[in-house]
Structure 1
Amino acid sequence: MDSNDVEFVNEEDEERVSSTTEPATVLITSNDEDTPPAVVADISTEDSKETLTHRGSASRGKVFSKDGDRPSTLKMIFGGRRVNRQSRMVDHDQRTLESAHGYQSVDDIDVTVSDHQKLENYVVYTVQTKTTRGDPFDRMYYTVRRRYKDFLWLREKLEEAFPAHLLPPMPEKLSMQRWTHFTPSFMIARQNGLNKFLQRIASHPVISFNEIFYQFLTTPDHELPDLGMDTAGLFSRMNTSLRTSLSAMMLRNPSAEFANTSDYVDKLRQQLEEVRKVEQTIADENAEMLSAMKLLSMALQDWLKVDNDVSDTLTAVTHCLDKQIQALEGSLAGIDPTVLQPLKEYYLYTDSVKQVLKRRDAVQMDYEMFVDDLRKKEEELDAARTTGQQDKITALETRVRDLSQQVDRKSDLVDIANADLKAEFDRWHSYKRMDMKEIFTEIADRQISYHQQCRDAFRETIEKLERGRGEET
């Protein structure tokens, strides 16, 4: 493929791609009106930029070359290695985008929040990483300690770098309903939530290659504050948050598809909360039954001490009850991390979805503002031509030309945000289907195991009682 096959946004992009051998990323805008735009592809700049591998949904796996058909208009949008919020450069190499738009995960970073420790008035969490990725990692194993606020900082930085990507939710800082701060149950639940948060990022085919994530996993504990954890950007973030919150209300042409997604997550949030509450109620009732069963066991043992006439029967029944207690304890022991916490995570995920939709709307609102400015300047230019004001005409022509380029650029960014977000939602729905199967399979397995143990305990007790009856006769 020669350089004439690619329409570059600016000379800087053209020069960078012409002089580098790194893969670059292009946006495919199909000439076919029925084919959705914003399909991401990878262009290999090796071999004189002759190969373009189409990664989009319309023609997955098809290879375009200078000798082949090229049914699309290509625009160079971003390329290179490092993340840049302004130009939306994407890390890190061809693998990331290929995997991202194939909805595949990466598995070369194994990260675990393995422990927690309370220190004075805060808690630190041990983060262990094993990786085979290579550059920029200079070894396979890392162990660091991080506070909850460090995880918050990581998520904020990733949100800035990837505004159109769906980031996993953080576990809540406090839960006023069930736990007091720093209780063992609360800290274990938070540790599990932070562990899931990091694992989802580590498996992401784009975000896991981010420099900030690498620094979070590898920077020694005493050096982490040097990464920029301060409040200097607080007002900027507040302004951005306000802007994204207002964007959906100000859009002239809101996306029906993403509006439907917003409605869906609202309904999903309600249903998840209802299911979680019911599961919690069942767990609480089972915990009360467990307490009652223990009291009954103690009462039977006390009876056994004073009545030898029914000692064999009481011993068998008490043994049966103790086995039921043991079975119920086992069933309740893992209900929180395997059922309730995963349901809570998806409940919090709905907030993440709403936020990323707002950020996408902000990108579109930015585009629409430039379209409005362009339209106004074109009207002013038409008026100036009518009156023959040459100086004003020259200035307005320059301004209209600049705005036209900006509008094209903003339009491309909207297309990229749409493509990123659609890919993210496909990944999220895929994860959700798998996780929900695991959650409800876990519920079923626990119920089956519990009732099987109870059945076996009853059968054993009946056999003992029948043998005793036979011996008496």
Structure 2
Amino acid sequence: GNMEKNGLFDSDEEEKIEYQPEVESPDPNLGVTMDIHPASRETQFMTSSDVSPSGNPPPGGYGSSDDDIEEVVDSEGNNKFEFEVPYPDVQIEDSTWSVSQPTKMGHITYTVTGEDKDGPFEGSRRYKDFFSLRQALVKRWPGVYVPPIPPKQSVGNKKDKFIANRMHFLDIFMKKISKIPYLVQSEEFQRFSKPSGDITATFNTLGPISPQDLKERLENDLGVSSELDESVVNQSREQVNDFQSFLKKILPTLKALREEAEKMVGAKENLNKRTGAIIDAMSFYESNGLSRFVDQDVTRMVVENPEDPEMKAKSDGIGKTFKNTFKDFYFWIRSSQMDVEAVIDAVSGRDKVVQNRVKLINKQKSEKNELDNINNKKKTLKSLFQSASSKQSRAVFLTTDIEKLENDAKELDVIIKMLNCYIAENIIPVFKEKQIKEYYEFLNFLARREINNSAATISFWSDFMKNENVSAASS
């Protein structure tokens, strides 16, 4: 007849599972004499030089406990919400600059601290303020690397984990900005750090930067010479165009990797939980099966042995011991993607200057034609309704404006050459070195984290081998 099913181990697939015991241990050193503990292995692979004095993550900045929970409280000590702290991707030892303490008040605000040319500043900022700041910097500092911020998101932007992740990247943005003096001292940043009124509204009053002011920024703030060799300019332009093409091609790959990593984070979490589930199953079996077989002799228990509470404690916590390296990978690849997008923004800034120059030249041609028509007294649809004095005033304006457009177009031509050289000689090589350095740092951290995961696994299972009942079974 049909056997009655009683729960945990009952399955219609049970007969398909084949148990294949090892005749002997694959590792001759695996036995009761092993003395490997997570703490000792952690010390072996994570030396004091790997951790900053403040207790922050190791170089490369990817370290943080998977289950770190930061509790956010207001000034009265009232809990606002909890969120998971993600992995930093930069290690800048400067607590002066930070984005912290997210507060829900209909919208989310963050406490921003820093220090500019006028001294320390602190205040509440919304995401849209960061967005407006970066937008202004990108527009008014074309060709210059401006650290990235996470993109806008209208759905789910008030969930705790989303807020934590957004704050993480905004904090990185501020810390990176702090290392770029000409951006910190800029008029744009001053409107963010020391605002008078609505920050986004003040940015809207900023007009486009003039060619003369832009050239002055390049010369004075970035140290770019306007006296350039034409062959160097041509070579730089080709290099920039080639690198821009490469970045646009690799960007979809990075996005795909990020999406895949996001899926793997959950899979890894489930795998870690399943390790704990195995122990739960063993505990259930010992309580409901083995206990009867050994006639309630607790000394013959392993997981449920009351005389070995340490084993029970380790068994209960094993699922939380392992660190999710896919989460580390996700934050690293997302940060890399955002950096690529920031460099694309910088090169696109040069492209917009090129487009502006073309517009000026076209406008200049149009105004020259109009001026010629006025001087030659040629009748047009526009001139039919103008008086003689109006035409004369218009001619004076056009003469002045054409000269200004010509000068601006010449300035932009020089600026474009300066930007090509600056991007080729500064942005691209620095970005390449940064990507190389961060990749090796990440692999270094990833290897150490996986080694520590393995050490925790070995330590846990070797403790089973120390149990006299288990060790006797292998002899």
Where 1:168 maps in the other structure, the secondary structure is coil
Deviation, 1:402, is: 6.8
Asked if 1:128 is matched to 2:113, the reply is yes
Q: Which residue of 2 aligns with 1:115?
A: 101
Q: Would you say the 8 A contact 1:113–1:127 is kept in 2?
A: yes
Structure 1 alignment gaps of length 5 or more? 1-105, 238-252, 380-395
Asked if 1:326 is matched to 2:320, the reply is yes
Letter in 1 for 2:341: D
Identity value in percent: 16
Per-residue deviation, residues 264-300 of structure 1 (Å, max 9, x unmatched): 1123213323433443343222111123233333333
Q: Which residue of 1 aligns with 2:159?
A: 183
Q: Which residue of 2 aligns with 1:346?
A: 336
Q: Which residue of 2 aligns with 1:229?
A: 201
Where 1:117 maps in the other structure, the secondary structure is strand
- Summarize the Cα distance change of 1:465–1:265 in structure 2 as closer, same or farther, 3 Å threshold: farther
Structure 2 alignment gaps of length 5 or more? 1-91, 209-234, 370-397
Where 2:123 maps in the other structure, the secondary structure is strand
Per-residue deviation, residues 320-369 of structure 1 (Å, max 9, x unmatched): 644532322xx02x854x43223213223333333332321222234456
- Summarize the Cα distance change of 1:142–1:361 in structure 2 as closer, same or farther, 3 Å threshold: closer
In the alignment, which of 409, 413, 416 is matched to residue 414 of structure 1? 416
- Summarize the Cα distance change of 1:428–1:454 in structure 2 as closer, same or farther, 3 Å threshold: same
- Summarize the Cα distance change of 1:231–1:302 in structure 2 as closer, same or farther, 3 Å threshold: same
Deviation, 1:452, is: 0.9
Per-residue deviation, residues 347-393 of structure 1 (Å, max 9, x unmatched): 233333333323212222344566678899999xxxxxxxxxxxxxx
Asked if 1:151 is matched to 2:130, the reply is yes
Q: Distance in 1 between matches of 2:93 and 2:470?
A: 58
Higher RCO (CA < 8 A, seq sep 6+): 2
Q: Which residue of 2 aligns with 1:241?
A: none
Correspondence list, 1:25-36, <5 A = none
Deviation, 1:145, is: 1.2
Q: Distance in 2 between matches of 1:375 and 1:107?
A: 55
Which of 159-168 and 345-354 deviates more? 345-354
- Summarize the Cα distance change of 1:302–1:369 in structure 2 as closer, same or farther, 3 Å threshold: closer
Q: Would you say the 8 A contact 1:152–1:170 is kept in 2?
A: yes
Q: Which residue of 1 aligns with 2:232?
A: none
Deviation, 1:215, is: 4.0
Q: In angstroms, what is the RMSD of aligned CA positions?
A: 4.4
Deviation, 1:183, is: 1.7
Q: Distance in 2 between matches of 1:291 and 1:277?
A: 22
Q: Distance in 1 between matches of 2:202 and 2:409?
A: 35
Letter in 2 for 1:434: K
Q: Distance in 1 between matches of 2:408 and 2:107?
A: 48
Asked if 1:298 is matched to 2:280, the reply is yes
- Summarize the Cα distance change of 1:203–1:287 in structure 2 as closer, same or farther, 3 Å threshold: same
Aligned residues: 326
Asked if 1:442 is matched to 2:431, the reply is no
Q: Would you say the 8 A contact 1:153–1:229 is kept in 2?
A: no
In the alignment, which of 337, 356, 364 is matched to residue 354 of structure 2? 364
Q: Would you say the 8 A contact 1:367–1:410 is kept in 2?
A: yes
- Summarize the Cα distance change of 1:400–1:172 in structure 2 as closer, same or farther, 3 Å threshold: closer
Q: Which residue of 1 aligns with 2:22?
A: none
Q: Which residue of 2 aligns with 1:430?
A: 433
- Summarize the Cα distance change of 1:274–1:441 in structure 2 as closer, same or farther, 3 Å threshold: farther
- Summarize the Cα distance change of 1:441–1:457 in structure 2 as closer, same or farther, 3 Å threshold: same
Q: Which residue of 2 aligns with 1:312?
A: 301
Q: Which residue of 2 aligns with 1:284?
A: 266
Letter in 2 for 1:353: V
Q: Distance in 2 between matches of 1:397 and 1:175?
A: 49
- Summarize the Cα distance change of 1:311–1:173 in structure 2 as closer, same or farther, 3 Å threshold: farther
Q: Would you say the 8 A contact 2:276–2:317 is kept in 1?
A: no
Where 1:126 maps in the other structure, the secondary structure is strand
In the alignment, which of 196, 203, 210 is matched to residue 186 of structure 2? 210
Q: Which residue of 2 aligns with 1:162?
A: 141
Letter in 1 for 2:147: P
Bigger Rg, structure 1 or 2: 2
- Summarize the Cα distance change of 1:163–1:407 in structure 2 as closer, same or farther, 3 Å threshold: closer
Letter in 2 for 1:152: F
Q: Distance in 1 between matches of 2:317 and 2:283?
A: 15
Deviation, 1:189, is: 0.4
Q: Distance in 1 between matches of 2:249 and 2:454?
A: 34
Per-residue deviation, residues 151-201 of structure 1 (Å, max 9, x unmatched): 11211221232122122221133286xxx3322211110110111111121
- Summarize the Cα distance change of 1:377–1:173 in structure 2 as closer, same or farther, 3 Å threshold: closer
Higher relative strand content? 1
Deviation, 1:448, is: 1.1
Q: Would you say the 8 A contact 2:258–2:333 is kept in 1?
A: yes
Q: Which residue of 2 aligns with 1:269?
A: 251
In the alignment, which of 451, 464, 474 is matched to residue 461 of structure 1? 464
Correspondence list, 1:1-12, <5 A = none
Q: Would you say the 8 A contact 1:313–1:465 is kept in 2?
A: no
